[in-house]
Structure 1
Amino acid sequence: MKRITVSLLLFLFLVTCSQSDIRHNQDLEDTTYSIVEDKNESVIRLSSLTTFDWEKAFLFSPYSPQEMIEEQLDVDFKDPSDLDMRDDIYLLVFLNKGKVVQYAEIERQDADFSIEGNLTPSNDGINIERY
């Protein structure tokens, strides 16, 4: 029993440590909020808003289940925003060298967002569709 408890604690420690390197980018959230608020803007360009290294980004729509997020990312990632129960945000997750490095919660603000293909530094546009 003691061996199981120690193993469980070690497992939880390792999972917690791996998630602790992931940064919640609130500056990016604030900037995208301003862009969406400007009715003249129709695209969010991620490369102009990011100052960190990233190779891929994924945009998850409201109500996306945890299993689908991990499947698309192809890495273990515990969604910190509980997106599967929310309709007020999109979740934007950035990967670099096969690891999640940052994420942002993008408020809907009477808008939906869409992408064309995979998000990369050279294909970085998120379309704003207001309603």
Structure 2
Amino acid sequence: MFKQIAFMLLTLQMITGCNNSDMIRNTEIEKRLHSSIIMVSDNSTSKTYLNTFDDFEWDKAFLVQPYTTQTGIEEQIGVKFTDPSNIGSRDDIYLLVFVNEGKAVQYAEIERLHTTFSLGDKEVLEPTNDVIYIER
């Protein structure tokens, strides 16, 4: 009986240890970016800085476009990341993925709201170069 319980606990630990259970969806960043979008008037471009509303350690952040596949996400960010948003079949959001020391640590789903987001001519954001452009 003890061996069966130990085996079940070990199996459960292995299953939960292999997912993004430590991945945090940052709803605070989602809310603040949503507020930034609303402030942009039609047919204009604005920019926002991530360091004005982050309170965690990150060294890179990636903006993932709608319809990006799981493989495409991992190629873009360079680390293992299981997409909890299912962005590969969605066009209503962008995904902002934060990486720290080679590990995806947080993400935010950014509603498009008839808006285009970009990093300008950059492929990755860093804490010292963290501008996101918002175009309506």
Q: 1:125 aligns with which of 113, 131, 134?
A: 131
User: Counterpart of 1:30 in 2: which secondary structure?
Assistant: helix
Segments ≥4 residues shifted beyond 3 Å: 6-11
Q: What value does the CA root-mean-square deviation take over the aligned residues?
A: 1.9
Distance in 2 (alpha carbons) for counterparts of 1:30 and 1:44: 13
SS in 2 for 1:103: strand
2:100 alignment counterpart = 96
* Aligned: 1:14 with 2:17: yes
**What is the TM-score with the length of structure 1 in the denominator?**
0.86
1:28 aligned counterpart, secondary structure: helix
Quick one: distance in 1 between partners of 2:30 and 2:16? Answer: 29
Matches of 2:13 and 2:75 in 1, distance apart? 25
Give the paired residue count: 124
102-111 or 68-77: which moved more? 68-77
Give structure 2 stretches of 5+ with no counterpart: 1-7
Overall identity of the aligned pairs, in %: 46
Matches within 5 A, 1:37-116: 37-39=38-40, 42-115=46-119, 116=121
Q: Distance in 1 between matches of 2:63 and 2:11?
A: 33
Structure 2 length normalisation: TM-score? 0.83
Q: Rg: which structure is higher?
A: 2
